[in-house]
Amino acid sequence: MAEVLVLGAGVSGHTAALHLRRLLGRQHTVTVVSPNANWNWIPSNIWVGVGDMGKKDVVFPLAPIYARKGIGFRQAKAVAIRPSGDDEDAKGAVDIEYTEPSRAGQSERLRYDYLINATGPKLRFEATEGMGPDGFTASVCTADHAVEANEKLRETIAKLKAGQPQTLVVGMGHGTCTCEGAAFEYTFNVDHLLRAEGVRDLARLVYLTNEAALGDFGVDGMVFDQSGFQTTSELWTGSLFRERDVEAILGAHVTKVTATEIHYELLDGSLHTIAHDFAMLIPPFGGQPLKAYDAEGNDITGELFAPSGFMKVDANYTAKPYEEWTADDWPKTYAAVGYDNVWAVGIAFAPPHQISRPRKSPNGTMIAPAPPRTGMPSGVMGKTVAMTIADRIKNGPSAPSRTASMARMGAACVASAGTGLTKGSAAAMTMLPVVPDYQRYPTGRDVRETRGEIGLHGHWVKLMLHYLFIYKAKARLGWQLIPE
Amino acid sequence: MSQLSMSAPTPGAEPIADLSKAPLPTARTLRVRRNVALQFFRFLSFNSRIMRMVVKGHK
Ligand SMILES: Cc1cc2nc3c(=O)[nH]c(=O)nc-3n(C[C@H](O)[C@H](O)[C@H](O)COP(=O)(O)OP(=O)(O)OC[C@H]3O[C@@H](n4cnc5c(N)ncnc54)[C@H](O)[C@@H]3O)c2cc1C
C-alpha cells in the first residue's frame, strides 16, 4: 500500500489528485491538503470582478467531490515538509495546521510515500506599500477579492454617472509581477462595462505594467504569421489598446499606493505619480511559506526552496545572462532537488529564470516580468507527475519519470475583452512552446501554432473553457477525456 | 526591439506609450470580428488548434 499526499487543490494539485485516484487501486491512498473548502476556477474571477458572474459561479465545495471519488481531504495548510521523516519514523512527513472551522488551530503530521507540492502562489501584496484589498487597490486573484473589486468598480461607475470624471488604473503592482494576461483581461472587461454603462467618455482607463513592451505577457512577446508576414504580439496588442482608447504605461515598478495616487519608477529610472479613483493591481507571487526539516529537526528550507519560496526541481538554476538561456534550463520531471519521491508542480516550482528579458532601471530596480505558469501547463504538470507516481507504484521505483517541459508544451491564453453571447469579444492566443526555443524555431516558437486573434469566437472559447473545466474539476462522467 | 515606444515624457506630463503607430482595425475587420457565422468557423479553428497543441506538445 502506498500513501500519496498532494498539497494544494488548485489547477495542478486537483488535476494530479483526480488522475492519481483514477490510476491507482483502492489499496493505495490519495490525500489532498488544502486550506480552502472550495475549488475556484480562477480565470473566471475576471468576470466576477466586473459583475458578470457571482462568486457561486466560479467556486464549488471540494469535500463532496473527494468523498465521491475516494480521495482523502484535509482542510488545512501545510506548514513544514520533513522529507527524511523524524526521530520516530524515517518515512517522509508533512506538518499541517487545520483551517476547517471545527478543527481550526489543530495540527497533525501526515506521512507519505510520495508527495506533490502544488501550493500555488502566495499573493505578496506586502511587497508594495498600500497595495491590496487591505490597502487602496482591488484584486481579482481570489473570488472574494473579485467580489470586492466589482463593488468598488460599481462605486466608480456611480460617480461617472453623476458626471464626475474618474481615472481607473489596472495593471501590475510591482516590477517583478507575473500574470500580466489577467490584468490585460480585466482592463478590457472594465472598458466593455464602462461602454455598456454609457460612461466611457468620462473615464480615463490606464494599463500600468512592468512589461517593457505591450504584448510581452511575461513570455518575451510572440511572433505571429499574419497573411504571410511576421508580426508581433506587441503590434497586435497595441492595436487593441488604440482601438479601445486605453492608455498604457510600460516598464513600471509600482513603489507605493495611497488612497489617491500610485507612485512608480520607470525603466529609465524616472519617478512618476498617477492619480487614481479606482485601481486593480496584481501583486507579485511568491511561494507559500513552507519550511523543511531533516530527520534531526535541522532547518533545510534553503535546500528545498529558492529564496522566492518556490520549490527547487530538476531545472538548471545556474545564473547566466539572457543570451545564454536555453530551453534545456526548464524542468522536465518536476522532481525536487535531492528527493525522488517529492515533486513541485504549477506555480509552486521554482523557474530557472524569467522568460522575458530581465531589465533593471539605472537605480538598480529590477523591472522584469516573472514567468507565468498558466492553467494549461499547470494541469499538464499535475497529470504528468501523477502518471510518474502511478508508474512507480505499479512497476517499481526504477520506472522512468514522465516528462512535460514548458519548453515543449503549448498554452492557450484567452483574454476576455468583454462578455455577451453576441457582443462579447476576447483576444485569443496560442503559443507553442511556452518557453521559446531558438534552436528549434527561428522565432522561438512554431509560427503555425503561435497565433493571436480577436473576436467574438474568443469569448465563446473562454465561456466554453469555464463550463468545461468546472465539469472536469467536479469529476463528472468522462472528465478524464477533457484535456488539461 | 520595441516597435511602439514610450513617448519621452515632456516635463510634468505622464509617460504614456505612443500607440499612434499601432495598426487600427478596418471597418471590415471589426465586422468580421462580430459576425456570428464567420466567428463560428474561427471558433472551430481555434479549438482544433488547441487540440493539435495538446497532441503535439503535451507528450
Ligand atoms: C486573475 C487571474 C486570472 C487568470 N486567468 C487565467 C487564464 O485565463 N488562463 C490560464 O491559463 N491561467 C490563468 N490564470 C493562471 C491560473 O490561475 C494558474 O495558472 C493556476 O491557478 C495555477 O495552478 P496552481 O495549481 O499552481 O495554483 P492554484 O490554482 O493557485 O492552487 C494552489 C492551491 O494550493 C492551496 N494552498 C495554498 N497554500 C497552501 C498550503 N500551505 N498548504 C496546502 N495547500 C495550500 C490553495 O488553496 C490552492 O488550492 C489566472 C490567474 C489569475 C490570478
- pLDDT 10s digits, A373-399: 999 999 999 999 999 999 999 999 999
Q: In chain A, what residues touch B35 (CB-CB under 8 Å)?
A: 456
CB A394 within 8 A of CB A241: no
For every one of its 59 residues, what pLDDT tens digit does chain B have, with 9 covering 90 and above?
466 765 555 555 689 999 999 999 999 999 999 999 999 999 999 999 888 888 876 55
Nearest Cα residue in chain B from A409: B57
Domains A3-123+285-363+371-395 and A127-281+408-481 alike in fold = yes
Distance CA A386, CA A263 (A): 45
C-alpha angle with apex A126: A120 to A127, nearest 5 degrees?
85
pLDDT value for B57: 64
Is it true that the peptide bond before A433 is cis, omega within 30 degrees of 0? yes
- Domain-by-domain residue ranges, chain A? 3-123+285-363+371-395, 127-281+408-481
In a domain, B45, yes or no: yes
pLDDT value for B5: 63
Minimum-distance CB partner of A454 among B21, B22, B33 = B33
pLDDT value for B14: 80
Distance CA B52, CA A412 (A): 11
pLDDT value for B1: 47
Helix (H, G, I), strand (E, B) or coil at B50: helix
Looking from the CA of residue A13, the nearest atom of ligand 1 is 25
Question: What CATH number belongs to A3-123+285-363+371-395?
Answer: 3.50.50.100
Q: Which residues line ligand 1 (CB under 6 A)?
A: A 7-13, 33-36, 42-43, 45-46, 77-78, 118-121, 140-141, 179, 182, 288, 346-348, 373-376, 378, 413
pLDDT(A128) > 50: yes
- A417 falls in which pLDDT band (50, 70, 90)? confident
In a domain, B7, yes or no: no
Distance CA A375, CA A40 (A): 12
- A228 falls in which pLDDT band (50, 70, 90)? confident
A150: its cell numbers: 466589482
Burial label for A395, CB within 10 Å (0-12, 13-18, 19+), is: exposed
In a domain, B14, yes or no: no
The boundaries of the domain holding residue B47 are 27-57
Torsion of CA A63, A64, A65, A69, to 10 degrees: 100
Q: What is the mean pLDDT of chain A?
A: 96
Strand order in the sheet with A271-275: A252-257, A261-266, A271-275
A37 Cα to the center of ligand 1, angstroms: 14
Looking from the CA of residue A412, the nearest atom of ligand 1 is 11
Distance CA A349, CA A435 (A): 15
In a domain, B51, yes or no: yes
pLDDT value for A247: 97
Number of neighbours of residue A69 by Cβ within 10 angstroms: 15
Split into its structural domains, chain B has a count of: 1
CA B27 to chain A, closest CA, distance in angstroms equals 11
In a domain, B9, yes or no: no
- ipTM of this model? 0.89
Q: Considering the entire predicted model, what is its pTM?
A: 0.96
Looking from the CA of residue A15, the nearest atom of ligand 1 is 25
pLDDT(A313) > 50: yes
Question: What CATH number belongs to A127-281+408-481?
Answer: 3.50.50.100
The whole-number average pLDDT for the span A460-469 is 95
Spell out the residues 6+ positions from residue A31 whose beta carbon is closer than 8 angstroms to its own. Answer: A3, A4, A5, A6, A71, A72, A73, A74, A110
pLDDT value for A249: 98
Distance CA A343, CA A71 (A): 19
In a domain, B38, yes or no: yes
Element (H, E) at A410: none
The whole-number average pLDDT for the span A90-98 is 98
In a domain, B44, yes or no: yes
The whole-number average pLDDT for the span A272-287 is 98
